[in-house]
Structure 1
């Protein structure tokens, strides 16, 4: 069978927010310490203690935002422990991740320095679980206020005269779990109280992100959209309202968390059969259902789509690598992870009318990492390469796609063989990203671009390998990486390709 894609130009001109390609760096395992921060006295080349090689690699992804300091770590993080002279900062116990002792050498100043080196927007997650309203208010003041105040003056005493720019702020993390085990009815009131004191000290309002649901907890979304927005009932479809013209919502984003994993029995990241390959393709496609159903609830209360869905934790979760600390969540990253990354990014692209931001977990040495380090060594993972290939979609106009594809069947179950998203950039170039979930069969694909433009040239890049579990190691760091894909035929605005098995393919038409 030949699969078909018809690309449609949307009259709405929906833009794929670059923030969908966001990242997450938690104080967990070796993500911060060793992965990002080595200290100014390290023999590993660094700039003010931050690894040069990691920064250089990450800059190539055009990272739009970085979430910090957690995660569950944020629920016990008190920011004043991480400012001032490093030798005077108190050591703390990381109760959530291995109960290791941290010296707080990487704090607010270091994180915002990292963001400046990466040229990325900081996304700070505040402590609602064990912190106070005053603590959260003072953190925002410390970071952003340019006038005379106790917190602004404390920042100056610590070596930073001018304030930083801070747009994104999370009011709590997983408050249904490690952030306090709250009922949503309780958290909704807590959120409204805390967010009141997350004040904007500049002309740019703080974009406030509320803790949203865990996976398919649709009741949580219902309550937060009703209570978080101060609305007692859904807005009827026929009502045209100008409520936002006079009343800015108290919530700009609602955070959804979903990991592709087997909670009952965490599997190996590298040792698996086709049964497990299929299982994880099916599991990750659940993200599409979650986004659709949570969006439907949000649409009832917010038909203007003023509140965004923020998927600020997503990715694969496997057993830790043998011999490593179970609390450090260090796992390898294979071609299977690359397919998971591509599928999810396609889902977010296609729902960019509601999904504004997403943050893969995590940036370095934790879960579905972009980068793995071992001392002075560093390798790029297959997931890194997918983000690099997909960066062409950032801030491009979404092109709606109608896909007719064969199925990938394993046993008595099946999933769609191809997963697709498409966009057009300001120069008129069209980019189409295609994931072939079938590890055994290539798929002929015809893509019709009538009505999009007139095109005369096509090229592509592909990420694939002979083995499903192909991955990069410190002894073989380039085993899997993108390669040029030239087997593309373009005729009369119709593109014909054969998508290799178990691959991520991005092709450009101009």
Structure 2
């Protein structure tokens, strides 16, 4: 009897363990599903640390191969990544930046002190022409974040005229004097940045009035009415901020409302980017997955005032934030990038994809050498991070039609706290279906079952980003520790796709 009871308990335990290790995903109707806007996969380049100088820009006389001073290896990597937009020059830097200081002969440009990031003196050698020409080279759309905090309406609208007016005007004449005849035609404009903080510590009511003033005087002359004007939005869960902007700003003056949210252990004690324990990993993923709640609640407020969803929610700063690497300038925000960051990227992009009816643009912070970068540089060396590889796998979702889904996920437990272990999103485009899956569990592999019978999938292939340790990362000595690999641990039988995900892994499947 004792043996039977013990065996029964063991069987019960194994059965429950097996149940905990399985997830089911149900695909729902695509009939009214939105398109996943490619701009969700945007990036961010601020004058911060080594993002621009000694990152993107090494100067025309550098021995590092470059095009107009921008590294050729970075250009190639970002082209391959297919970045749809690039935000510049900030960030907090935007509201101290005076764009006329960055045009004209480089040896005649005034210097400035970057008061937000390290107190370094900048020579303004990378300015409007350099950035917009870079965007042309990359085939990406520029997103200019303009100065409201310390600037004027005149300065702002002069910049719009300088880059967009193709006829004769004071600013277009100035542009032509600076050897650029053709207007760039910039559509996406941020009207200030973090106005609740480094942009001026304003109330939402005050900023809403300022936004209306600036927006009223914006025009692109040759393309009137087609500017995409983005209001500086909420800090994380400041729902009152979103409420005021949506309530007080007329819908004919605004196209987007921003949102900023970062993932970290604790704001005051962010911890190392590579030397972290499971508790720190779990806590970071808690803040990353909080994005689901943030997007949902901010969208609900926007729905009250904009039932047709004409105004986009723009998450133009997101990503992991840790302590800087030892021995580097604290104001430069240089950090490494591990499998933890791959988990942040995969889960966050799944959230954005699944909310693409309202979320139509986002910007990972930041592109090179700052925060959750996709590229790191050291001298003439360059490496691609795990985040780069996840975004590269996910680029198949750009401008694809969302396939809505419901995920029944087992729990990832730490202490008395739990998180859903499985995250997913799916889309269809050009006769191909893609499903992106993330297992954030630190120790358990999980089998995901998806009924795909209605999709009539054949010829399924997959790639994976995974590694033995959460702390694993690419270095300049070993640049390919983490890179996408072909993935075979799946099977399709009777219309059910069964995929076994290793711990902390990202898998993207393709079926035709």
Give yes or no for contact 1:449–1:493 (8 Å, CA) kept in 2: yes
Check conservation: 1:17, 1:394, Cα contact below 8 A. Answer: yes
**CA positional deviation for 1:322:** 0.2
Normalized against structure 2, the TM-score is what? 0.95
RMSD of the TM alignment (CA)? 0.9
Q: Measure the CA separation in 1 of the matches of 2:219 and 2:55.
A: 33
2:230: which partner in 1? Answer: 209
Task: Summarize deviations over 1:285-304 as a string: whole Å, max 9, x none.
Answer: 11110000000000000001
Query: Which residue in the other structure is 1:22 paired with?
Result: 42
Query: Higher helix share goes to which structure?
Result: 2
Which SS does the other structure have where 1:75 is aligned? helix
- Give the 5 Å matches for 1:4-15: 4-15=24-35
In 2, the alpha carbon distance for the partners of 1:504 and 1:59 equals 22
Farther off after superposition, 350-359 or 489-498: 489-498
The structure 2 residue matched to 1:432, chosen from 419, 430, 435, is 435
Q: Is the contact between residue 407 and residue 416 of structure 1 (CA under 8 Å) also seen in structure 2?
A: yes
* Deviations, residues 156-195 of structure 1 (Å, cap 9, x unaligned): 0000001002110001100110001101110000000011
Moved over 6 A (4+): none
Match of 2:262 among 259, 263, 269: 259
- Do residues 284 (structure 1) and 292 (structure 2) align? no
Q: Corresponding residue for 2:7?
A: none
Tell me the equivalent position of 1:226: 247
State the Cα deviation string for residues 204-244 of structure 1 (Å, max 9, x = none). 61100001100000100000000012xxxxxxxxxxxxxxx
Q: How does 1:181-196 map to 2 (within 5 A)?
A: 181-196=201-216
CA contact (8 A) 2:234 2:242 kept: yes
Q: Is the 8 A contact 2:33 2:404 kept in 1?
A: no
Offset of residue 283 of structure 1: 1.3
Measured after TM superposition, the shift of residue 124 of structure 1 is: 0.1
Matched-pair contact (CA < 8 Å) for 2:28–2:405: yes
Match of 2:4 in 1: none
Deviates most, 255-264 or 3-12: 3-12
Q: Contact conserved, 1:458 with 1:488, CA < 8 A, in 2?
A: no
1:152 is matched with which residue?
A: 172
Contact kept? 2:440, 2:504, Cα under 8 Å: yes
Which of 71-80 and 442-451 deviates more? 442-451
Could you say which residue in structure 1 is the equivalent of 2:11?
none
Secondary structure of the residue aligned to 2:507 is strand
Structure 2 unaligned spans of 5+:
1-18
Matched positions, count? 490
Secondary structure of 1:276 counterpart: helix
Q: Tell me, in whole angstroms, the C-alpha distance in 1 between the residues paired with 2:33 and 2:237.
A: 30
| Contact 1:399/1:424 (8 A) holds in 2 | yes
- The residue that corresponds to 2:374 in the other structure is 370
- Aligned ranges for residues 202-351 of structure 1 at < 5 Å? 202-203=222-223, 205-229=226-250, 249-261=252-264, 262-351=266-355
**Which residue matches 2:3?**
none
C-alpha separation between the residues in 1 aligned to 2:379 and 2:199? 33
8 Å contact 1:462–1:484 — kept in the other structure? yes
SS in 2 for 1:478: coil
Cα shift at 1:268: 0.6
| Counterpart mapping for 1:57-68 below 5 A | 57-68=77-88
- Residue 257 of structure 1 deviates from its aligned partner by 0.4
User: What's the CA shift string for 1:245-291, capped at 9, x where partnerless?
Assistant: xxx62110000000112213111100011111111111111111000
How far has the Cα of 1:474 moved from its partner? 0.5
Separation (CA, whole Å) in 2 of partners of 1:216 and 1:399: 28
2:449 matched residue in structure 1: 446
Equivalence for 1:458: 460
Match of residue 43 from structure 1 = 63
Select the residue among 176, 184, 192 that pairs with 2:196.
Answer: 176
The structure number with the bigger radius of gyration is 2
Which range is displaced more, 196-205 or 117-126?
196-205
Contact 1:287–1:344 (Cα < 8 Å) also in 2: yes
Q: Deviations over 1:409-458 (max 9, x none)?
A: 1111111110111111122x11111110101010111111133x322221
How big is each residue's C-alpha offset from its partner over 1:91-124, in whole Å with a ceiling of 9 and x where there is no partner? 1100000010000000000000110111000000
Task: Measure the CA separation in 1 of the matches of 2:508 and 2:299.
Answer: 27
Contact 2:322–2:335 under 8 Å retained in 1: yes
Q: 1:456 and 1:227 mapped to 2: Cα distance? A: 51
Whether the 8 Å contact between 1:459 and 1:488 is mirrored in structure 2 is no
Residue in 2 that maps onto 1:242: none
Once residues 13 and 6 of structure 1 are traced to their aligned partners in structure 2, the CA distance between those partners, rounded to angstroms, is 15
Partner of 2:129, secondary structure, is: helix
- Separation of aligned partners in 2, 1:445 and 1:166: 43
Following the alignment from structure 1 to structure 2, what is the Cα–Cα distance between the partners of residues 224 and 493? 47
How many angstroms apart in 1 are the aligned matches of 2:307 and 2:181? 43
Partner residue of 1:239? none
Q: 2:469 aligns with which of 464, 467, 475?
A: 467
For 1:217 and 1:398, the matched residues in 2 are separated by 28
1:17-56 deviation digits (Å, cap 9, x = unpaired): 0000000000000000011011110000001111100010
Could you list the runs of 5+ residues in structure 1 that have no partner in the other structure?
Answer: 230-247
Whole-angstrom CA distance in 1 between matches of 2:380 and 2:414: 42
